[in-house]
Structure 1
């Protein structure tokens, strides 16, 4: 089966640049696509110093929706959003004061790739951290998701007024130029050995993560590369939230017209979004619960020990066009979660979000919009911050589904509640509240 390769090299232009990420692209571009992918044929997409996070998200989503193996090469620098304390991949226009709006949230990458089937996605990363991110990594490791194979390194900030080189990625590219692509874990070890021989990466955090069943340690580990210190966690694996979000931006949503041709998840030939079924997580681990800083943390699973993961059965119903059966199954699990943990529990919210997505897949935009509005309102009532990723995502999804409504009466019915929520949760796209108000005015004017 053909593969897909995404080459992403990004770093700020100017004094904020920590690494010359783009310098690795000529070496990677010289590698045949089939070698980059490890498949007979492959499509390669290059993104060099992109300007807008939404543009990167669009390319990332398209790559994630492609069938077959996906390999993502990422070179760049991590910077911290000082408001939410979340790591972002800096882009060309990123400055410390504008990270939230001009950089790519790392959880966007994680959320897009988590929907892919197990064993189909590999990320090779060469990242340099700014001082704030580096300090944060000591307390909270970088979350790379539970179904993605991740290899690479995170380097500490280079000396002041020094621009570092993506040495790990250059080592990977040099090895691949031989025309032979070893398994990713072996390629990773060979690149580290080459880097060590060159005297580099003395204090790097080494990323090594494979999904369950791939034969690697679980969870992922990161070790200081040339010291004898014990390994520390580098990538926290968490169970999937079965929601089709992108960390706060509905697919293709471009104000002022939310009616778009592309849906949040690209459909496969069977009509089911690519990779929509979540990989079966260990039954002792639960849906995610949001912590105070918006980073998911595990809770106890409402499912009985030994029970099969219901998501595969639900996905099979969607694949067969049996949307009603899918919703019935999800409703049963939602009711079980409510009985076990309460209506506002994270377990119950998980299944409410599943049902919101199922309504979208069934083409019922009104029901999906209403469900997302309810989820957002519940999370806010629980005291979650308006800029928590889960809250932003719920409101953005509601906004997107509202834009798909073909019935003006339903749009007028749901619009005021959406506008009220937009006033509290503006999201990352400027003008979102104004857009809702303008559309409501038009609906009222034209009846």
Structure 2
């Protein structure tokens, strides 16, 4: 459903409500959508006019990512309302938002990695994005949140709550978001920080983790009852001023953020590392432009972080984007940096085990390989041969 306002001062609200079907369901996520959809869209965004988009029980993480990417690219304020449940991927130890077909065994392929969301939102102008959550965390994810928080990055306001799983055979209600909707529909519309306190009081439980984060000033509780999910040493630092010099195009000469980001990745905090790298890429884009050396550097950092997290498909996509960026700057196809980016994309593609993802990423990789053959003879032939084999293994479309 899309509702368009009439004023030119327009914002966007994206409502995502998802939970697995069957016994894996921990929260009645879509139960809040009618209440939120009944609120005037401008109230949801804090603007005179608004576009409201709903995603009810989506099944494909790539579809959700595409929709998030689209609304993140829209001008004006953006508010995301997310109701659902969080799980921890046991192989990569990453937080995921479960979707309708998610199961513990298929989480990596059927749920939305939280750092994907963080990465897309980090590219927006600071202070224009708000995320409002009503989430249940599975036991392993709940334990992880207790030590690492729910990272989204600098410049993003976050309000909401996360609760532990309900007793067995019970399903939680998105009581926090319902309390917000009830207040708005009754004509009450104070600042969101104040309304958050009221909703927290009405929907609280002894174990609830309430989020009240001003993304422009770090993490701060809105009331004494609100817990800060970011320990002081984990609060993302603001992006540097444009006057900070870069050394060899890799970071500030005296305050290079890369070592800390890589340390987080090697410690298994992949979501945090990806979010911070995306934040720095957003700063490079705003400060130096999309075709700058600095923006390409952070794109390549994100590609390598995806590799470290075991996300070969995402790493392949990002390495291809980095190669395209270098070629767009008129770097030669035999430039070592261009060849290296394509080689890394090719290697990550070979690491994929999902035939459909291989077939999705194969054609653009072939196009790159034809333009950047590299030093290893037979690379393009090997790539095309595997694609032919994969095409023969998939069942024909009905």
After TM superposition, the score normalised by the length of structure 1 is 0.62
User: Is the 1:2–1:69 Cα contact (8 Å) retained in structure 2?
Assistant: yes
- Which residue of 32, 46, 52 corresponds with 2:60? 52
1:380-391 to structure 2, matched below 5 A, reads none
Q: For residues 32 and 199 of structure 2, what CA distance do their matches in structure 1 show?
A: 14
- Secondary structure of 1:23 counterpart: helix
Aligned position for 1:34: 42
Aligned position for 1:99: 107
Aligned position for 2:192: 184
Aligned position for 1:163: 171
1:213-232 to structure 2, matched below 5 A, reads 216=217, 218-219=218-219, 225=225, 231-232=228-229
Q: For residues 122 and 362 of structure 1, what CA distance do their matches in structure 2 show?
A: 34
Aligned position for 2:288: 314
Aligned position for 1:201: 205
User: Is the 2:20–2:101 Cα contact (8 Å) retained in structure 1?
Assistant: yes
Task: Label 1:434 to 1:123 Cα distance change in 2 as closer, same or farther (>3 A).
Answer: farther
Aligned position for 1:372: 341
RMSD: 4.6
Measured against aligned partners, the alpha-carbon deviations of 1:84-135 in whole angstroms (never above 9, x if no partner) come to 1111111111111111111111111111111000011000001100111112
User: Is the 1:330–1:355 Cα contact (8 Å) retained in structure 2?
Assistant: no
Structure 1 residue 181: Cα displacement: 3.6
Structure 1 residue 152: Cα displacement: 0.7
Q: For residues 433 and 207 of structure 1, what CA distance do their matches in structure 2 show?
A: 51
Aligned position for 2:230: 233
Q: For residues 25 and 121 of structure 2, what CA distance do their matches in structure 1 show?
A: 27
Q: For residues 52 and 184 of structure 1, what CA distance do their matches in structure 2 show?
A: 31
User: Is the 1:38–1:181 Cα contact (8 Å) retained in structure 2?
Assistant: no
Q: For residues 116 and 158 of structure 2, what CA distance do their matches in structure 1 show?
A: 16
Structure 2: which 5+ residue stretches go unaligned? Answer: 1-8, 240-250, 274-282, 299-318, 353-357, 392-398
Q: For residues 4 and 132 of structure 1, what CA distance do their matches in structure 2 show?
A: 33
- Secondary structure of 1:169 counterpart: helix
Aligned position for 2:93: 85
- Which residue of 326, 348, 369 corresponds with 1:359? 326
Task: Label 1:167 to 1:358 Cα distance change in 2 as closer, same or farther (>3 A).
Answer: same
1:146-161 to structure 2, matched below 5 A, reads 146-161=154-169
Measured against aligned partners, the alpha-carbon deviations of 1:360-411 in whole angstroms (never above 9, x if no partner) come to 76587967864534667999xxxxxx79xxxxxxx99996863554xx7425
Q: For residues 29 and 103 of structure 1, what CA distance do their matches in structure 2 show?
A: 24
Greater helix content: 2
Structure 1 residue 167: Cα displacement: 0.6
Measured against aligned partners, the alpha-carbon deviations of 1:173-223 in whole angstroms (never above 9, x if no partner) come to 11222345433322212211332xxxx4221111122223xxx4x245699
User: Is the 1:419–1:437 Cα contact (8 Å) retained in structure 2?
Assistant: no
Structure 1: which 5+ residue stretches go unaligned? Answer: 242-279, 299-308, 335-351, 380-385, 388-394, 423-431, 440-447
Aligned position for 2:387: 435
Structure 1 residue 162: Cα displacement: 0.5
Aligned position for 1:286: 257
- Secondary structure of 1:88 counterpart: strand
Task: Label 1:138 to 1:353 Cα distance change in 2 as closer, same or farther (>3 A).
Answer: farther
Aligned residues: 335
2:273 paired with 1:295? no
Aligned position for 1:250: none
Q: For residues 122 and 34 of structure 1, what CA distance do their matches in structure 2 show?
A: 14
Aligned position for 1:410: 371
Q: For residues 43 and 211 of structure 1, what CA distance do their matches in structure 2 show?
A: 23
Structure 1 residue 137: Cα displacement: 1.8
After TM superposition, the score normalised by the length of structure 2 is 0.69
Task: Label 1:27 to 1:373 Cα distance change in 2 as closer, same or farther (>3 A).
Answer: same
- Secondary structure of 2:69 counterpart: helix
